[in-house]
Chain A
Amino acid sequence: MQCVVTGGNVKVLAKAIHSLSRIGDELYVEPQEDGLALRSVNSSRSAYACFLFSPLFFSRYSTPNGHDFRCKMAIKSVQAVFRSLATLEKTVEKCHIELDEHKNKLTFTLHCKHGLLKTHNLSFQDSESLQAVFDKDNCANVFRAQPRVLVDTVVHFAPSLEEVTVSVSDERMWIKNHVEDEAERSKAMLTELCLASDEFDHFAVQAQNSITFCLKELRGLLVFAEATGLPVSIYFDEPGSPVVLSVADSVLEGNFVLATLSDEPSVHKNNSRGTRSAPSPPPDDFMNDDIDSYLIAMDTSVAPEPLTASPPRPPRPSLPDSTCSKRPAAANHRTRTHSDEGKEEDGEEDETVDSDRPPNKKFRSLFFGSVLPPSSQMSTQPMSCQEVLASDSEDESQTD
Chain B
Amino acid sequence: MPLSTQSQIEDEQYVFMASLDNARNISNILKAIAFKDHAVFTATPNGLKVTVEDSKCLQANAFIQVEVFQEFTIKEDVVGFQVNLTVLLDCLNIFGGSTAPGVSTALRICYKGYGYPLTLFLEEGGVVTVCKINTEEPEETIDFEFCSSDVTNKIILQSENLKEAFSELDMTSEVLQFTMSPNQPYFRLSTFGNSGNAHYDYSKDSDMMELFKCTKTQTNRYKMSLLKPSTKALALSCKVSVRTNSRGFLSLQYLIRNDDGQICFVEFYCCPDEDVEED
Q: How far is the CA of A83 from the CA of B198 in the complex (A)?
A: 13
Q: Which B residues are within 8 Å of any A CB, using their own CB?
A: 161, 164-165, 167-168, 170, 193-203, 205-208
Q: How far is the CB of B157 from chain A (nearest CB, A)?
A: 9
Q: Which partner residue on chain B sits nearest A110 by CB separation?
A: B200
* Interface flag for A118 (CB, 8 Å): yes
Our pick among A91, A105, A115 for the contact of B196 (Cβ within 8 Å) is A105
Say yes or no: A76-B195 contact (C-beta < 8 A), given A114-B206, A116-B161.
Answer: yes
Which of B196, B203, B208 contacts A120 (CB under 8 A)? B196
For the complex, give the distance between the alpha carbons of A116 and B200 in Å: 7
Alpha-carbon gap, A151 to B199, bound state (A):
38
Q: Which 8 A-B pairs have the closest CB atoms?
A: A77-B195, A115-B203, A115-B206, A122-B196, A117-B201, A119-B199, A114-B208, A114-B206
Partner of B200, one of A74, A118, A122: A118
Chain B residue at smallest Cβ distance from A91: B164
* A67–B57 CA distance with the chains assembled, in angstroms: 52
Extra contacts, 13 of them, besides A77-B196, A115-B203, A117-B202 (Cβ < 8 A), are A77-B194, A84-B168, A116-B161, A116-B164, A116-B203, A116-B206, A118-B200, A119-B198, A119-B201, A120-B196, A120-B197, A121-B199, A123-B196
A220 to B200 Cα, complex, angstroms:
30
Question: B198 touching A118 by the CB < 8 A rule?
Answer: yes
Contacts A80-B170, A83-B168, A114-B161: A120 and B207 contacting too (C-beta < 8 A)? no
A74 to B194, CA, bound (A): 10
Expressed in whole angstroms, the minimum distance between the Cβ of A93 and any Cβ of chain B is: 13
A115 to B167 alpha-carbon distance, docked (Å) = 18
Within the complex, the shortest CB–CB distance from A95 to chain B, in Å, comes to 14
Chain B residue with minimal CB distance to A77? B195
Chain B nearest Cβ from A91, distance in angstroms: 7
Complex Cα distance A80/B193, Å? Answer: 11
Q: Which A158-201 residues have C-beta < 8 A from chain B?
A: none
A163 to B201, CA, bound (A): 45
Residues of A57-96 whose CB lies within 8 A of B: 73-74, 76-77, 80, 83-84, 87, 91
Residue contact B195 to A74, C-beta cutoff 8 Å = yes
CB-CB under 8 A from A74, the residues of chain B are: 194-195
The size of the chain A interface, using a CB distance under 8 A, is: 21
Contacting B at CB under 8 A, from A259-316, are: none
Across the interface, do A115 and B205 meet the contact criterion of CB distance under 8 Å? yes
Instruction: Give CA–CA (A64, B43) in the complex, Å.
Output: 67
List, in ascending order, chain B residues with CB within 8 A of A84's CB.
164, 167-168
Hey, which chain A residues are within 8 Å of B208, CB to CB? 114-116
Within 8 A of B (CB), among A114-172: 114-123
Contacts of B168 in A (CB 8 A): 80, 83-84, 118
Instruction: Collect the chain A residues with CB atoms within 8 Å of residue B194's CB.
Output: 74, 77
Q: Which residues of B contact A83 (CB under 8 A)?
A: 167-168
Q: Assess whether B164 is in contact with A122, with CB atoms less than 8 Å apart.
A: no
Given A84-B167, A84-B168, A87-B164, A116–B195 Cβ distance below 8 Å?
A: no
Name the residue on B nearest A80 (C-beta).
B170
Q: How far is the CB of B63 from chain A (nearest CB, A)?
A: 28
Interface centre among A76, A106, A118 (most CB of B within 10 A): A118
Pairwise interchain contact B201-A121, C-beta atoms closer than 8 A = no
Return chain B residues, CB-CB under 8 Å to A122: 195-196
Q: List 24 A-B contacts (CB under 8 A).
A: A73-B195, A74-B194, A74-B195, A77-B195, A77-B196, A83-B167, A83-B168, A84-B168, A87-B164, A105-B196, A115-B203, A115-B205, A116-B161, A116-B200, A116-B202, A116-B203, A116-B206, A116-B208, A117-B200, A118-B165, A118-B199, A120-B197, A121-B198, A122-B195
**Distance (whole angstroms) from the CB of A219 to the closest CB of chain B:** 25
| Complex alpha-carbon distance, A116 and B201, angstroms | 6
Among A91, A120, A121, residue most surrounded by chain B Cβ atoms (within 10 Å):
A120
Give the distance in Å from the alpha carbon of A73 to the alpha carbon of B205 in the complex: 35
Q: How far is the CA of A84 from the CA of B166 in the complex (A)?
A: 12
- Find the A residue at minimum CB distance from B189: A118
A233 to B205 Cα, complex, angstroms: 48
Report the minimum CB–CB distance from B151 to chain A (whole Å).
24
Alpha-carbon separation in the docked complex, A91 to B170 (Å): 19
Chain A residues positioned under 8 Å from B207 (CB to CB): 114
